Structures are given as C-alpha cells and as structure tokens.
Chain A
C-alpha cells in the first residue's frame, strides 16, 4: 500500500469517525426532548381542536337557526359568511347539510363535493373532521332518486352532474392513495 492509499484511507477513517461522533452526540441531546412525531401529533391535534372551536363560534347563529328549523334563513346566513370567508370548507359542509334538509339533493351533493375538494380531511377517517358517514347517508338516499330522474330526463345536465358528484364522493370515501 503506497502513501496515496494510506492518506486517503486515513482521511476516510477520520471523516467517518467525526460524522458518527456528531450523529451520536446529536441523538443523545435529542433523547431528552419529545420526539418530532409526538410534537407534530400534538400540534395537529391542537389544530383540529382550534378549527372545531372556531367553526362552532363562527357558525353559531347558523347552527341555532338549523336547530330551530329555519333552514332558508340559515342558508342566507351561510352565503353571507361565505363572502367574507371563501376559503372555509365548513360553510360548504353546512350548506350541503341544509340543502339535504330542504330536499335539494343535487345541490347538497355538489356542496359536499366542493367541501371535500377544498379540505380532504372531511373524508379522512384519521381526523376528527371526518363526515364520511353523513355523506354516505346522503348518497344512499340521493342515488336511487337521481337515477330515476335521469331515466325520465336523460338529457338534464344538472342530474348528470349530480350523479357524477355522487360517484366522486363514493370514490373519495372509499379511500386509496390520493
């Protein structure tokens, strides 16, 4: 082995030991702290709690009107809120729920679709926002009715769109890698 190999192997050993030492030292220091995963989980849990509390506060009036059965007024309130908070997917969830109560199935299905496209957490079983069961209830009552309407009015674009929305919701609730 000539000097060239000796120097290079020596350098490799020095660099290897230094790197390993740095990593071990870093890990030893990190052992006392909560793991990144734990702190991320806690932060996520807090985020959802905050979001639920915020929703309850912002939509307090709407929820009260809904309970009283004043659905039209509740829808008007939501539409006003949507103008100031267009990014909020919860408005669309509530709108879908209210349209369903009114029997406007196509509009209800479309609102739920838009809500999920805005915030996929609503169909994620691992989050407290999950409303998959609520949507499935809507789908099972809307599917038969819309299919019957499609037979009566085969060229009605609104019915076709509603059926496509139903299939979309079913695919999203079924899960998969998306």
Chain B
C-alpha cells in the first residue's frame, strides 16, 4: 500500500496539484495556475496568431514542461524518436481538443483545479470527460487504433524542444513581435523564474510517470489498472488541501471564476476532449510531455492544439462567463462528428487485432 502511495504517478499528481494552486497564489489567474488550453491561447496571442491582447502572454510553464520532459528523457535514456502515426488526423484532433477545452473554459487539469476549488460547474465537465474516455476505451476494445508509429531520424525529436528553447529566448529578450498583454489574464502571472522552476520539475516528473488525466481514467475503464488514476486523485487531493488551507475553496455553482452554467455544452465539450484524447493517446498535458521526449506525433498534435487555441480566440469558438458562443457549440458538434468518423475509418477487424 505504501509502495503504491509513493508511486511516481502519485508524486507527479501531488506536484501537479500543488503547482496548480501554488502558481495561482504566485500570480497566475485564479483556478488557472496550470491550464494547457489557456496557456496555448496565451501563447497564440503572444505570437500574434490572434489579436486579443488580454489573452497574449508567453507562458513560461509551457516551456518548462517541454524542457523538463526533454532533459529527463535524455538523462534516463528514454529519448526515443518516433512518429508517422496518422499525423494529419492527430493535428486536427489536437485542434478540436482545444476547442472542447475552450467551450468548457479549461483543460482536464484546470477541471481538476476548478473541482478542488469548489466549483460545482466543473462536475458536468468531469462527467463528460469520463463518458468520453469510457467511449474511447470501448472503441479501443472494439479494435480502433490509429496507425502504428515507427522510429524516425533523431533530429525530428529535437525540433519541439528547440521550439521551446526559441520561446525561452523570446521570453527573456522580449522582441517587439512577441506581444505581452498588460491587462486581463495576460497581466496575471507568476514570476518567470518561479513558473519555469515549478513547471520544469513537474515536466521531469511527468516524463518519468507518464501521468495523464484522460490516461488515468482510460486505464481504469480499459483494464482496471489504477496507477495513473491514483496520480489524478493525488492532484485533486493536494489542490483541494492547499485551496482549503489558503482560503481559496468556495463551494458553489454561482460566482465561480471563468465558468458558465450551460452544463449540457460543458458535458458535450468534455466528451469531445475525452474521446479525442483517448484516440490520440493522451490529454493536452501528456501531449506536451510526449513532444518533449521525442514523440513527433505528439509534437504535431501540439501544433494542432496551438492552431486550435489561436482560432478559439480569433473566431470566438469558445465560451465566456455568459456561456458558449454559437460557433463554439457548432465546433463541439463538428469535433464529435470528426472523432466518430475517425473511429469508423480506423476500426480494424478483431481477428486482425488479435
């Protein structure tokens, strides 16, 4: 029992939960200490891929996750460069994962943060995510798999970490073409060094553990294996304890930061996130970590997610406190249709699978 408790997934979960609340306390937006979709939206704005300066900031946490994973993979000789598994489909599923997150207002990690802060509107998101993952697990059992990946020349694996290093250079040199918004969420951030240090440690630990929010549920539903799920629970419990200790726990449906009460759309958006994440094997956080350890398919997914983040803001395919936009609702349905189409095309007969 103690050995299970001290599993690296649980340690990563604890770090993630503490990092989420800790970064909010240090200056990141409330309940957004760590949110991959918000960070990608901020990054897209910083790169002028959308024009909403309130959402434009080069979040150091993204860089820390990638470089943490990269360094840990190199140090433990786990840097394995693979790719070639349905790249275009992964790009578009990455795109729609962020659209789903934007309609809920947060990635699966932020969902945990919101639940741990007492935000009951995130319950619909949890149910949606679990249903999406359960559906994905059923499809895997039925023989749905994207193409097999293969080993690629080593240089391919260095591209994404090099992109992260370039962003790090931009973060410190602040060239004029990178926008750092001075109002709204863009102006709310922890210090660069604190963000980098915390995210680097989490990135290292996540590379070792393979912690993934959707992966935790998937393994539980698919084979009854709970290691990653305990990591997810550890993230929730540590965030909950820290929120309660610091007076940031406010139980309720109304008045929660960056939330809305259109629970049906929240549910559907997170079904999309859960299902698409199972198809491409990992939640947004896991995709970033995998991209750092040489997974080229995950890197392509990350670029898809970045495109999704840019258009989610630029085309208003998202939700605000007033609820989801019309474009956001249509995009969620479109994303679900694309997931189901992919599932139909990639179902291999069970005899072949076995």
Contacts and interface: CB of A to CB of B under 8 A. Distances in A.
A117 B173 CA distance: 34
A57 B350 CA distance: 76
A121 interface: yes
Interface string A113-144: 00001001100101100000000000000000
Contacts of B256: 171, 174
Contact of A44 (B38, B174, B182, B185): B182
A36 interface: yes
A174 B257 contact: yes
A29 interface: no
Contacts of B185: 176-178
A41 B187 CA distance: 11
Contacts of A27: 173
B183 A176 contact: no
Contacts of B41: 177
Nearest to A48: B183
Contacts of A177: 29, 31-32, 35, 38, 41, 55, 105-106, 185, 258
B84 interface: no
A171 B183 CA distance: 18
A170 B119 CA distance: 13
Contacts of B322: 117, 168
Interface string A153-168: 0000000000000011
Nearest to A41: B182
Given A124-B183, A176-B29, A177-B35, A171 B174 contact: no
A172 interface: yes
Interface string A55-87: 000000000000000000000000000000000
A178 B105 contact: yes
Contact of A35 (B106, B174, B188, B320): B174
Nearest to B29: A177
A40 interface: yes
Nearest to B37: A177
Contacts of B106: 177
Most buried by B among A36, A44, A127, A167: A167
A167 B187 contact: no
A39 B254 CA distance: 39
B259 A176 contact: yes
A37 interface: yes
Contacts of A174: 30, 255-258
A120 B255 contact: no
B208 interface: no
A167 B254 CA distance: 6
B48 interface: no
A175 interface: yes
Main secondary structure of the interface of A (DSSP, over half): helix
B184 A176 contact: no
Contacts of A37: 174, 180
B321 interface: yes
A27 B260 CA distance: 45
A127 B105 contact: no
Given A177-B29, A177-B32, A178-B185, A171 B180 contact: no
B351 interface: no
Given A167-B254, A177-B32, A177-B185, A172 B180 contact: no
A175 B55 CA distance: 13
A147 B41 CA distance: 37
B349 interface: no
B261 interface: yes
A36 B174 contact: yes
B140 to A, nearest CB: 32
B182 A120 contact: no
B78 interface: no
Contacts of B80: none
Nearest to A129: B183
A37 B181 CA distance: 10
Contacts of B188: 126, 175
B104 to A, nearest CB: 12
A56 to B, nearest CB: 21
Contacts of A170: 254-255
A64 to B, nearest CB: 31
Interface of B: 29-32, 35, 38, 41, 54-55, 105-106, 173-174, 176, 180, 182-185, 187-188, 254-261, 320-322
> Across chains A and B, which 10 residue pairs bring their CB atoms closest together, nearest first?
A176-B258, A176-B257, A170-B255, A174-B257, A177-B32, A171-B321, A177-B38, A175-B30, A177-B29, A177-B185
Given A126-B188, A171-B259, A175-B29, 10 more contacts: A168-B321, A171-B256, A171-B257, A175-B30, A176-B105, A176-B259, A177-B32, A177-B38, A177-B258, A178-B320
7 contacts: A36-B176, A37-B174, A44-B182, A126-B188, A175-B30, A175-B258, A178-B321
